[in-house]
């Protein structure tokens, strides 16, 4: 059986990112949030666009005020007022200054800003006393100091968050080439399954996986294509799967991958010419994870266990890596692990790498894992709500004692 790390390596190897040319579209700034740049972005504008003041104060020639002090102030004539957005008209000469406000454009002849706290405006005159010298060029933001036009502004493969939106807006990069969103088909298998809006009859089970996985895919920027519930019927399954693998980037099914009499997925994948890349992983929950590739399409098939907890843990631990790499992100494909402790003992049977669900919080600067209350049977879906982290118990370990450091997988990224 593969270890979690081995399965992770196989997934990273078989998933190829979307094509930089063919799999792209143009979006505007308003619709760019959470999209991934498919090309390097450059701007035609320097940033700052021109020399400007970082403070409210007075624009001066440094040589004019360098020798002043509190007992020996320099008196300057105010020749102009420069609020932000105004283009200065006058040139500062020795003995002169312009009143300037934050963001105001530095006037010709001025090279330094004296903050207003170090000055005193003389009543009913256009004179100001400067009490304290600045350093040369102090509080001047120089044109191009932070970015020079034509240089790389943002790299290809970067995800656009609010900070990137600010950078792109200020640089007038309004149209952006991004990767298209990955198309991921989802199907639920099982004769027992019904939709949440149907009346529950004895013995039936509501298909929660379809909805959970669609949400998970959307959260990672993909487009979920919900193919619904397919009965445990070889022909019906084969028909749906054979069409899905020709249309989607990935197909994700839940159920039917264990060793039960109604578990047909592996057999169908093989009959469709699929190469089984992963069949079982030493992970708990989620052992029957099945991953297949095909010769006639780039689509990758992820058969994950039907058990709702196993299904979500498989998504968090494995499918997330595949979606992130596919989507064009240049890095950060793997889950984020942090070191922390639990106040309670954590237990497993030690045979497989175990993921226990719960909440991660920072208390007095330490990462603390709180195990979800109630049963940790993979049949208990209810206590999964509010989970933001998984505690990892390595193979060979039965117990993590309270207070002992261990790895926690964060689900917040
Ligand atoms: P399976 O992997 O098909 O053996 O299913 C394992 C368990 O998960 C069974 O109890 C199923 O009824 C349940 N199950 C399977 N698919 C789903 C689903 N889509 N939503 C909720 N539970 C499911
Ligand atoms: Mg089943």
In a domain, 265, yes or no: yes
In a domain, 373, yes or no: yes
Please check whether residues 223 and 238 belong to one and the same domain: yes
Please check whether residues 198 and 184 belong to one and the same domain: yes
* Tens digits of residue pLDDT in 149-165: 999 999 999 999 999 99
* Nearest ligand to residue 306 Cα: 1
pLDDT surpassing 70 at residue 413:
no
* Tens digits of residue pLDDT in 194-248: 999 999 999 999 999 999 999 999 999 999 999 999 999 999 999 999 999 999 9
Please check whether residues 11 and 130 belong to one and the same domain: no
Q: Considering 118, 141, 164, which residue would you say is the last residue of a domain?
A: 141
Q: Residue 33's domain is classified under what CATH number? A: 3.90.105.10
Res 253: pLDDT: 98
307 lines ligand 1 (CB under 6 A): yes
Query: Mean pLDDT across the stretch 1-27?
Result: 98
Query: Mean pLDDT across the stretch 272-300?
Result: 96
Res 375: pLDDT: 87
Going by pLDDT thresholds of 50, 70 and 90, the confidence category of residue 256 is very high
Query: Mean pLDDT across the stretch 284-306?
Result: 96
Query: Mean pLDDT across the stretch 348-363?
Result: 94
Ligand 2 geometric centre to CA of 303 (Å) = 12
306 lines ligand 1 (CB under 6 A): yes
Please check whether residues 322 and 340 belong to one and the same domain: no
Q: Residue 385's domain is classified under what CATH number? A: 2.40.340.10
Res 139: pLDDT: 97
Looking at the structure of the chain, the number of domains it has is 4
Ligand 1 geometric centre to CA of 379 (Å) = 9
* Nearest ligand to residue 307 Cα: 1
Ligand 2 geometric centre to CA of 181 (Å) = 30
Res 350: pLDDT: 79
3-state secondary structure of 7: helix
Helix (H) or strand (E) holding 251: strand 250-254
In a domain, 331, yes or no: no
In a domain, 352, yes or no: yes
Please check whether residues 301 and 317 belong to one and the same domain: yes
Of 186, 160, 189, 190, nearest to 175 (Cα)?
Answer: 160
207 lines ligand 1 (CB under 6 A): yes
Best residue for ligand 1 mutational test, from 255, 290, 304 (most atoms within 8 Å of Cβ): 255
209 lines ligand 1 (CB under 6 A): yes
Q: Considering 155, 179, 203, which residue would you say is the last residue of a domain?
A: 179
Ligand 1 geometric centre to CA of 251 (Å) = 17
- How much is the pTM? 0.94
* Tens digits of residue pLDDT in 87-124: 999 999 999 999 999 999 999 999 999 999 999 999 99
Q: Residue 66's domain is classified under what CATH number? A: 2.170.190.11
Please check whether residues 205 and 309 belong to one and the same domain: yes
User: Which protein residue has the closest C-alpha to ligand 1 atom 17?
Assistant: 306
Contact assessment for residue 308 and residue 286, using Cβ atoms and an 8 Å cutoff: no
**Cα–Cα dist 139/142, whole Å:** 9
pLDDT surpassing 70 at residue 334:
yes
Please check whether residues 195 and 286 belong to one and the same domain: yes
Q: Which atom of ligand 1 is nearest to the CA of 305?
A: 2
Please check whether residues 217 and 362 belong to one and the same domain: no
Cross-strand partners of 275: 293
Res 128: pLDDT: 98
In a domain, 354, yes or no: yes
Res 125: pLDDT: 94
258 lines ligand 1 (CB under 6 A): yes
From residue 193, alpha-carbon distances to 64, 233, 254 in Å are 83, 13, 11
305 lines ligand 1 (CB under 6 A): yes
Please check whether residues 172 and 299 belong to one and the same domain: no
User: Which protein residue has the closest C-alpha to ligand 1 atom 8?
Assistant: 307
Q: Residue 190's domain is classified under what CATH number? A: 3.40.980.10
pLDDT surpassing 90 at residue 133:
no
* Tens digits of residue pLDDT in 305-326: 999 999 999 999 999 999 999 9
**Cα–Cα dist 113/98, whole Å:** 10
Please check whether residues 200 and 127 belong to one and the same domain: no
Residue reference for tokens 């002090």: 69
Instruction: Give residue 11's domain range.
Output: 4-18+180-326
Average pLDDT, the chain: 96
Please check whether residues 38 and 159 belong to one and the same domain: yes
Helix (H) or strand (E) holding 64: helix 62-65
The verdict on whether omega for the bond into residue 380 sits within 30 degrees of 0, i.e. cis, is no
Q: Considering 268, 297, 326, which residue would you say is the last residue of a domain?
A: 326
pLDDT surpassing 80 at residue 379:
no
* Tens digits of residue pLDDT in 161-199: 999 999 999 999 999 999 999 999 999 999 999 999 999
* Tens digits of residue pLDDT in 40-69: 999 999 999 999 999 999 999 999 999 999
Please check whether residues 169 and 28 belong to one and the same domain: yes
């Amino acid at each position: 059986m593969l270890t979690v790390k081995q399965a992770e390596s196989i997934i990273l190897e078989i998933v190829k990112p979307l094509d930089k040319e063919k799999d792209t579209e143009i979006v505007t700034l308003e619709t760019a949030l959470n999209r991934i740049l498919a090309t390097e972005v450059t701007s035609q504008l320097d940033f700052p666009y021109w020399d400007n003041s970082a403070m409210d104060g007075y624009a001066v020639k440094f040589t004019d005020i360098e020798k002043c002090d509190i007992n020996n102030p320099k008196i300057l004539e105010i020749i102009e007022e420069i609020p932000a957005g105004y283009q200065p008209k006058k040139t500062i000469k020795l003995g002169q200054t312009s009143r300037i406000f934050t963001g105001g454009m530095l006037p010709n002849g001025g090279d330094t800003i004296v903050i207003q706290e170090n000055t005193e405006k003389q009543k009913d005159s256009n004179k100001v006393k400067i009490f304290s010298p600045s350093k040369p060029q102090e509080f001047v933001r120089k044109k191009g100091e932070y970015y020079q036009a034509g240089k790389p502004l943002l790299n290809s493969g970067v995800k656009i968050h609010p900070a990137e939106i600010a950078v792109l807006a200020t640089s007038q990069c309004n149209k952006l080439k991004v990767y298209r969103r990955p198309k991921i088909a989802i199907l639920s298998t099982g004769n027992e399954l019904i939709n949440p809006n149907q009346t529950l009859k004895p013995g039936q089970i509501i298909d929660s996986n379809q909805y959970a996985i669609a949400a998970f895919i959307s959260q990672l920027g993909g487009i979920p294509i919900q193919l619904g519930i397919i009965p445990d019927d070889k022909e019906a399954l084969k028909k749906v799967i054979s069409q899905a693998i020709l249309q989607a980037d990935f197909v994700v099914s839940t159920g039917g991958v264990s060793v039960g009499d109604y578990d047909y997925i592996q057999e169908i994948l093989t009959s469709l010419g699929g190469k089984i890349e992963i069949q079982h992983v030493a992970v708990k929950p989620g052992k029957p994870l099945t991953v297949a590739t095909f010769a006639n399409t780039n689509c990758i098939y992820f058969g994950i266990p039907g058990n709702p907890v196993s299904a979500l843990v498989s998504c968090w631990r494995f499918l997330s890596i595949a979606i992130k790499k596919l989507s064009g992100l240049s890095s950060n494909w793997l889950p984020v692990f942090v070191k922390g402790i639990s106040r309670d003992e954590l237990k497993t049977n030690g045979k497989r790498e175990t993921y226990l669900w719960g909440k991660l919080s920072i208390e007095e600067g330490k990462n603390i894992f709180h195990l979800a209350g109630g049963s940790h049977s993979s049949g208990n879906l209810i206590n999964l709500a509010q989970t933001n982290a998984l505690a990892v118990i390595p193979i060979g370990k039965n117990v993590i004692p309270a207070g002992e450091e261990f790895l926690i997988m964060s689900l917040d990224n």
